[in-house]
Structure 1
Amino acid sequence: MVAATDRQRILTAADRYLSQKPLTITAFPAKRSAGGLHDFFSQADYFWPNPKDPDGPYINRDGQSNPDNFDDHRRVMVALSIQMPALTAAWLLTGRSSYGKLAADHLRAWFVTPETRMNPNLRYAQAVIGVSTGRSYGIIDTLHLVEVARAASLLHTQVLSAEDAAAVKAWFREYLAWLNTSSPGKAERDALNNHAICWALQAAEFARLVDDEASRQEIYRRYCEIMLPNQMAPDGSFPRELTRTKPYSYSIFNFDGMAALCQSLKGLTPDPLSFQLADGRGLKKAAQFLYPYLKDKSAWKWAHDVEHFDALPVRSPGLLFAGVAFHNSQYVDLWKSLNPDPSDKEIIRNYPIRQPLLWV
């Protein structure tokens, strides 16, 4: 069903990407970064110069992204996350070597080749001028590597040599270790909102790629015992997301992240997609809460987002994963009807799963 729905979309995109060579962060030196050429750098979105002290530390304006921030590293990582999975999906559909070869070229450029690879950490992500050279919140930036890792797990030796495949896995194994052991990684893991879900989704999918079953089991335990009880209300809503200046987008974002996490953890028992607490809280309850507002945004009962409200909703992977898991054709039909390729930059930044063919 997913292949039939997305086949033409996938092939059209992949044909467009065949002419675009891999580009990594090393092509864009970040003068504001405290790191080096191979270190990913970004600035915290919602921080701006202080009008009362223009040369002093930046101040927070929640929900309002600063357009003057350095964005090149994010931009090329997002491009990787769009192009490489689309090429992989096209290769799976057609078997054409040109798609698979270029997908493998992206992996080599980012994670293998010494001259262009990224260092496997995020020490300098979401920096705040005059305050911090990097913050734990920045780990959410590599959410765009989740589908890259998923795609990498599907490429065979036909297009990726055993040596290169081992090198890619070594990169993700090292990055997973940094997520699990570094102070920023542990702080993000212990967050009380969507950041913890995004940490878990990354860690789960990277662990899946490198066959780290112990990490997958531990992530699932944290989801069941910590994240789900502390983040979801009995009605399936996410109270901490509803208090933000973008309650609609953050609610959808956390739902999609939670659904993708459960999809990544498939194979563990009890089934992550069907798991629920004693009071019924689980992915099914979250889908029941959000579905009416994805179907009809005008029914949304909370504040409108301060930015980009008109660009939502887009195609929600959570709808697909929940629809398949719970045999709910309404969810799947709505998923089919929504825009799969948003053009709004802010929506794209919070939209890491674009090729569900790789997931189901």
Structure 2
Amino acid sequence: MIMTRWRQVNHCFPSMTRQSPILLVLLCLCMVPPGESCSKEPGDFVLVDYPQLLERKQQWQQQDPKNRPEYDAMMQKADRVLGLEPLSVIHQSITPPSGDERDYYSIAPYWWPDPEKEDGLPWIRRDGRVNPDTQGANSDHDVTLQFFNRVNSLGMAAFYSDDTQYSDAAIELLKAWCIDPTTRMNPHLEYGQGVPGLYDGRCFGIIEWLKIEQLLIPIHLMWANEMIPEPTYREVVKWMEDYLHWLQFSEKGKQEGTRLNNHGTWYDVQVATILLFLGKNDEARELLESVKTKRIATQIEPDGRQPHELARTKSFTYSKMNLSAFMRLAKLGDKVGVDLLGYETPDGRSIRKAEAFLNSYGKGKKKWEYPQL
């Protein structure tokens, strides 16, 4: 595989990594035997433009004055989390309905105790109004975002600096979250965005993992730099495979995939990102191709409006959020030869139209005509 070839070449010619990343990639390709796939194993670089990252790494390591402030800011961010204890869903103060502390659990943010009921149950929905009691230590959402952010900060610092203290810290985080049997999160979101008195969990909780790319890219890069022991890496990959299987085949996962608003769009982003991380490029390509008819044709009007988002109490916020998901899908599509940004339905629906519609209200050009708390 191309990853294996890269590691072999990097071991034999370490200076080539810094001096000629393009040549290095070409040499790796030439070393792949006829008929051997270059993108079937986890670890192959599809999520990132690897030669570009190597070039940036070379500039930063040569202390190019134009790039040092960005590099220094990145390292300072990593230093702030370097000595912190590993994170786990078991450290939160709540207990999931299953009774297993290793299950992810969160409460739907727009739901509140019913003031007309003595016990407040079942909770009632107030769209757009966040209940503070669903945040912080009462939810695994916040600790998950911290986990993503810390691994990202440490992993990127390790890649760009070649300093193993950062990768070692990132590995401890990954072990606690994905491997250690006493602290690892069970690879599903069955109890995401539950509603007291109504639901133990709902499919809508899946959107709380929309930033999973922050986790997967640094894992890729640390693996490329031989900063993760292979057994640890394989365990993390297995966890991602199990989580992906839940996303694709569980009842809640399949439900989320049918949503015709930002939940469905971000579900596709998450599944496509994990597929590419795992080297399942054909599956990712098929999913991204389906975005044309499944998402663009059903969620965007010919004039660029997104009606499912406009129906919300924060219509502008959710319109932007859904457009961000479409833009992310377009970038993922570019990696596997699917042009989503240039696609338009026969009646004129497209991501570009959605972008133009929102831009027409930017910088006070027009007054937003829809609900926005």
TM-score (norm. length: structure 2):
0.75
Residues 242, 302 of structure 1: 8 Å contact kept: no
Give yes or no for the alignment of 1:199 onto 2:249: no
Residues 42, 71 of structure 1: 8 Å contact kept: no
Among candidates 94, 101, 107, match of residue 43 of structure 1: 107
Write the distance in 2 (CA, Å) between the matches of 1:47 and 1:41.
Answer: 15
Write the distance in 2 (CA, Å) between the matches of 1:166 and 1:144.
Answer: 22
Among candidates 60, 64, 74, match of residue 10 of structure 1: 74
Write the distance in 2 (CA, Å) between the matches of 1:47 and 1:35.
Answer: 22
What whole-Å deviation, never above 9, does each CA across 1:79-116 have from its counterpart, x for those lacking one? 01222112222233322222222222222221122121
Residues 29, 37 of structure 1: 8 Å contact kept: no
Quote the offset at 1:117 in angstroms. Answer: 0.9
What code does the residue aligned with 2:107 have? Q
Residues 216, 277 of structure 2: 8 Å contact kept: yes
Worse-matched range after superposition: 101-110 or 166-175: 101-110
Write the distance in 2 (CA, Å) between the matches of 1:209 and 1:130.
Answer: 38
Quote the offset at 1:126 in angstroms. Answer: 0.7
What RMSD over aligned residues (CA atoms) do the two structures have, in Å? Answer: 2.3
What whole-Å deviation, never above 9, does each CA across 1:235-293 have from its counterpart, x for those lacking one? 33322112211112111111111111222333223333433334453333333333354
Write the distance in 1 (CA, Å) between the matches of 2:72 and 2:316.
Answer: 30
Gaps of 5+ in 2: 1-51, 57-66
**Residue in structure 2 matched with residue 63 of structure 1 by the alignment:** 128
Write the distance in 1 (CA, Å) between the matches of 2:256 and 2:202.
Answer: 9
Per the alignment, do residues 292 and 298 of structure 1 end up closer, same or farther by CA in structure 2, a change over 3 Å counting? closer
Per the alignment, do residues 272 and 303 of structure 1 end up closer, same or farther by CA in structure 2, a change over 3 Å counting? closer
Per the alignment, do residues 290 and 100 of structure 1 end up closer, same or farther by CA in structure 2, a change over 3 Å counting? farther
Residues 48, 66 of structure 1: 8 Å contact kept: yes
Give yes or no for the alignment of 1:28 onto 2:96: no
Quote the offset at 1:227 in angstroms. Answer: 0.8
Write the distance in 2 (CA, Å) between the matches of 1:297 and 1:114.
Answer: 53
Write the distance in 2 (CA, Å) between the matches of 1:29 and 1:215.
Answer: 39
What whole-Å deviation, never above 9, does each CA across 1:15-59 have from its counterpart, x for those lacking one? 212122321111225236334111000001111111111312111
Write the distance in 2 (CA, Å) between the matches of 1:13 and 1:304.
Answer: 37
**Residue in structure 2 matched with residue 120 of structure 1 by the alignment:** 187
**Residue in structure 2 matched with residue 185 of structure 1 by the alignment:** 253
Residues 330, 340 of structure 2: 8 Å contact kept: yes
Worse-matched range after superposition: 91-100 or 160-169: 91-100
Per the alignment, do residues 297 and 159 of structure 1 end up closer, same or farther by CA in structure 2, a change over 3 Å counting? farther
Among candidates 181, 193, 216, match of residue 149 of structure 1: 216
| SS state at 1:126 partner | strand
Give yes or no for the alignment of 1:168 onto 2:236: yes
Q: Bigger radius of gyration, 1 or 2?
A: 2
Gaps of 5+ in 1: 307-360
Residues 158, 167 of structure 2: 8 Å contact kept: yes
Per the alignment, do residues 54 and 44 of structure 1 end up closer, same or farther by CA in structure 2, a change over 3 Å counting? farther
Per the alignment, do residues 112 and 32 of structure 1 end up closer, same or farther by CA in structure 2, a change over 3 Å counting? closer
Residues 127, 134 of structure 1: 8 Å contact kept: yes
**Residue in structure 2 matched with residue 74 of structure 1 by the alignment:** 141
Write the distance in 2 (CA, Å) between the matches of 1:41 and 1:74.
Answer: 8
Identity of aligned residues (%): 30
Give yes or no for the alignment of 1:236 onto 2:300: no
Quote the offset at 1:170 in angstroms. Answer: 0.8
**Aligned ranges 1:1-360 → 2 under 5 Å:** 4=67, 6-31=70-95, 33-55=97-119, 56-69=121-134, 71-72=136-137, 73-156=140-223, 158-293=226-361, 296=363, 299-303=366-370, 305-306=372-373
Residues 108, 193 of structure 2: 8 Å contact kept: yes
| SS state at 2:131 partner | coil
Residues 88, 100 of structure 1: 8 Å contact kept: yes
Worse-matched range after superposition: 190-199 or 135-144: 135-144
Worse-matched range after superposition: 89-98 or 122-131: 89-98
| SS state at 1:42 partner | strand
Residues 102, 185 of structure 2: 8 Å contact kept: yes
What code does the residue aligned with 2:80 have? R
Write the distance in 1 (CA, Å) between the matches of 2:342 and 2:117.
Answer: 52
Worse-matched range after superposition: 98-107 or 38-47: 98-107
Per the alignment, do residues 228 and 54 of structure 1 end up closer, same or farther by CA in structure 2, a change over 3 Å counting? farther
What code does the residue aligned with 1:63 have? G
| Alignment length (residue pairs) | 305
Write the distance in 2 (CA, Å) between the matches of 1:292 and 1:6.
Answer: 32
Residues 247, 302 of structure 1: 8 Å contact kept: no
